[in-house]
């Protein structure tokens, strides 16, 4: 897949869905990231991060969205996924903005669809890139296949 600078209408809808999810459930220091994914069959699922007092129990918004998709549809693949961050109340800009997936989420996304597109920041805008471009030398449990 080629890197695309311009987002499609469907990509913008996905960003809007992630933004709506975190705007609805934002809680300072607890829920600050929203995510949305479109499955291969075209269904959209959203998630928000679940922070935890015991930090290692925290779950990213992308994983919550994927879990919701998997419960409803099983392994339907990930066409495109995006995460957005809600600003803290004291931040100058109150815009919800696209953020890159963390390293663990990159592994997760690749594990569930190695052809997934991921919307990532590109300056003040965003672009969609293949997950493989975000994860060189992916971790493997066994020999390469
Ligand atoms: Zn993550």
More confident residue, 95 or 142: 95
- In angstroms, how far is CA 77 from the centroid of its own chain? 14
Query: What residues are labeled active site?
Result: 62
- Residue 108 Cα to ligand 1 middle (Å): 9
CA–centroid distance, 89 to ligand 1, in Å, is: 22
d(CA 127, CA 119): 5
| Cβ atoms 68, 43 nearer than 8 A | no
The answer on pLDDT for 132 being more than 80 is: yes
In this prediction, residue 5 has a pLDDT band, given cuts at 50, 70 and 90, of low
Confidence of residue 43 (pLDDT cuts 50, 70, 90): very high
Predicted local confidence at residue 3, as pLDDT: 59
111 Cα: distance to centroid of ligand 1 (angstroms) = 14
Residue 2: per-residue pLDDT = 54
Strands 97-99 and 78-85: antiparallel
**What protein residues have CB closer than 5 angstroms to ion ligand 1?**
60, 102, 105
Query: From ligand 1's centre to the CA of 83, what distance in Å?
Result: 9
User: How do residues 93-103 score in pLDDT, each as one tens digit?
Assistant: 999 999 999 99
Q: Of 39, 46, 49, 48, whose CA–CA distance to 17 is shortest?
A: 46
């Amino acid at each position: 897949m080629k890197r695309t600078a311009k987002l499609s209408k469907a990509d913008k809808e996905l960003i809007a869905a992630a933004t709506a999810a975190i705007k609805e459930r934002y809680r300072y220091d607890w829920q600050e990231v929203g995510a949305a994914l479109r499955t291969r069959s075209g269904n959209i699922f959203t998630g928000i991060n679940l922070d935890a007092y015991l930090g290692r129990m925290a779950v990213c918004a992308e994983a919550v969205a994927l879990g919701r998709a998997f419960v409803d549809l099983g392994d339907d693949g990930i066409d495109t996924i995006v995460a957005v961050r809600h600003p803290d109340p004291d931040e100058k800009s109150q815009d919800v903005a696209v953020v890159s997936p963390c390293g663990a989420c990159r592994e997760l996304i690749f594990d569930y669809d190695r052809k997934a597109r991921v919307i990532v920041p590109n300056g003040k805008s965003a672009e969609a890139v293949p997950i493989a471009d975000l994860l060189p030398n992916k971790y493997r449990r066994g020999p390469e296949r």
